[in-house]
């Protein structure tokens, strides 16, 4: 068990809560007018986090996401990205978070399969090839829908009760499809236009089906379209479009493009949007190499919104284990962070070894002093 030398309270920005005497007890009324008792945490650790009702209720489809998405990066981003989209519609100041409770395991199981006589609820396109077409090697339509993520947002109706105030749906879409016809394997990218067209078709159908569930006729629904990255990628995919279906509407009323991107540094691309940060990162990496030659690698992941870098997370695996070395290395890297990277970007540097985490450096956007903690 590692001991923390020093952890500033500002680093404890997690979306959980600390039990408090001032936590509120309230009643949650579901669509069947059944009443459950829940606890509202009194502490909201940051205005970007939703408070979560306790006891925590997991989604019925929670376990399926691991098998349906390409990588752990996509798994995390489908949920985190949907939270960002939801904040535009459901303010963390007014709404409480709960994992999706309306879409059942049976729903998702049938939705993710192809449409067929045996499974008319399937949302992936039916395979209508004839025997002759199959024999000729004609490929089936791509299975575009990979997974459906649901998040619920609850709102107070008075001092003692909370009701469902909104639903967010994330549709994880495959960026490529593969298979084998007549013993010949294939893998092809799915065009962006096809992803967008099919994603919007599926979104409207899901909204329509949700409206048919008890109590959901007038609940606002937000939908985001997420494009997965390749399974071998070290960065996640992103949401590329979102829309909302106001209460009472059976389809998404309007769609808006989302300009978000993850970039791996150092990058091999030539995009001018990343050139300055790539140069800064390469200089940072070079300085690390000069001072400590027995490092493994330095990898950075940048998160861009509207072509502007918002966050940069850096991972530095090390091969030395002495406490003095770790302290000296962390002090040096902290100085490099302040020297090389812009002030208006959140920078997070994780130093790890085969023993686990060794140090964490965190500099918030706009702040001149980073927070550092070292594990022993």
Q: What is the pLDDT of residue 70?
A: 75
Q: What is the pLDDT of residue 359?
A: 95
Q: What is the pLDDT of residue 216?
A: 96
* Residue 12 reports pLDDT greater than 60: no
Q: 374 and 353 in contact (C-beta within 8 Å)?
A: no
**Residue 129: inside a domain:** no
The bridge status of strand 51-52 relative to strand 95-99 is parallel
- How would residue 269 be classed by pLDDT, with cut points 50, 70 and 90? confident
What CATH number does the domain containing 217 carry? 3.10.570.10
Give me the percent of the chain exceeding a pLDDT of 70: 84
Spatial CB neighbours of 54, under 8 Å, sequence gap ≥ 6: 17, 23, 38, 39, 40, 41
* Residue 127 reports pLDDT greater than 70: yes
- How would residue 2 be classed by pLDDT, with cut points 50, 70 and 90? very low
Mean of per-residue pLDDT scores for the chain:
86
Residue labelled with tokens 């390749």: 230
Closest C-alpha to 311, from 281, 348, 277: 348
Are both 250 and 272 inside the same structural domain? no
Spatial CB neighbours of 209, under 8 Å, sequence gap ≥ 6: 107
Q: 220 and 89 in contact (C-beta within 8 Å)?
A: yes
Q: What is the pLDDT of residue 295?
A: 60
Lowest mean pLDDT among 24-38, 66-80, 298-312, 330-344: 24-38
> Could you say which of 239, 258, 277 is where a domain stops?
258
Are both 161 and 50 inside the same structural domain? yes
Are both 48 and 166 inside the same structural domain? yes
Separation of alpha carbons 365 and 348, rounded Å: 11
Are both 213 and 271 inside the same structural domain? no
| Residue-number span of the structural domain to which 165 is assigned | 9-124+143-179+186-258
* Number of domains, the chain: 2
Q: 179 and 167 in contact (C-beta within 8 Å)?
A: no
Distances (CA, A) of 234 to 205, 262, 265, 355: 33, 10, 11, 22
* Residue 202 reports pLDDT greater than 70: yes
């Amino acid at each position: 068990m590692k001991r923390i030398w020093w952890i500033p309270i500002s680093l404890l920005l997690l979306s959980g809560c600390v039990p408090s005497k001032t936590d509120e007890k309230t009643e949650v009324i579901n669509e069947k007018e059944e009443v459950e008792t829940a606890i509202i945490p009194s502490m909201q650790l940051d205005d970007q986090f939703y408070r979560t009702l306790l006891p925590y209720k997991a989604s019925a489809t929670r376990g399926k996401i691991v098998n349906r998405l390409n990588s752990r990066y996509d798994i995390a981003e489908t949920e985190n990205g949907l939270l960002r989209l939801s904040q535009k519609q459901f303010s963390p100041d007014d709404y409480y978070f709960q994992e999706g409770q309306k879409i059942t395991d049976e729903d998702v199981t049938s939705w993710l399969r192809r449409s067929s006589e045996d499974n008319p609820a399937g949302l992936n396109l039916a395979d209508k090839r004839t025997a002759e077409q199959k024999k000729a090697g004609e490929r089936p339509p791509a299975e575009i829908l990979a997974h459906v993520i649901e998040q619920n947002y609850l709102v107070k109706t008075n001092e003692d009760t909370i009701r469902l105030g909104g639903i967010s749906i994330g549709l994880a879409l495959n960026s490529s499809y593969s298979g084998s016809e007549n013993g010949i394997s294939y893998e092809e990218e799915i065009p962006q236009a096809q992803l967008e067209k099919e994603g919007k078709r599926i979104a409207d159908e899901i909204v329509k089906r949700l409206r048919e569930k008890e109590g959901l006729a007038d609940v606002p629904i937000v939908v985001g379209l997420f494009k997965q990255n390749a399974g071998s990628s070290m960065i996640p995919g992103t949401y590329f479009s979102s829309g909302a279906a106001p209460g009472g509407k059976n389809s998404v009323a309007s769609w808006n493009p989302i300009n978000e991107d993850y970039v791996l540094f150092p990058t091999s691309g030539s995009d001018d949007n990343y050139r300055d940060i790539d140069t800064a990162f390469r200089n940072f990496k070079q300085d690390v190499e000069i001072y400590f030659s027995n490092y493994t690698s330095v990898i950075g992941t940048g998160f861009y919104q509207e072509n502007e870098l918002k966050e940069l997370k850096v991972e530095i695996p090390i091969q030395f284990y002495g406490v003095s070395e770790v302290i000296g290395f962390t002090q040096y890297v902290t100085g490099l962070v302040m020297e090389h990277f812009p002030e208006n970007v959140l920078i997070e540097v994780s130093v790890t070894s085969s023993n686990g985490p060794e140090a964490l450096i965190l500099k918030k956007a706009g702040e001149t002093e980073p927070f550092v903690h070292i594990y022993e």
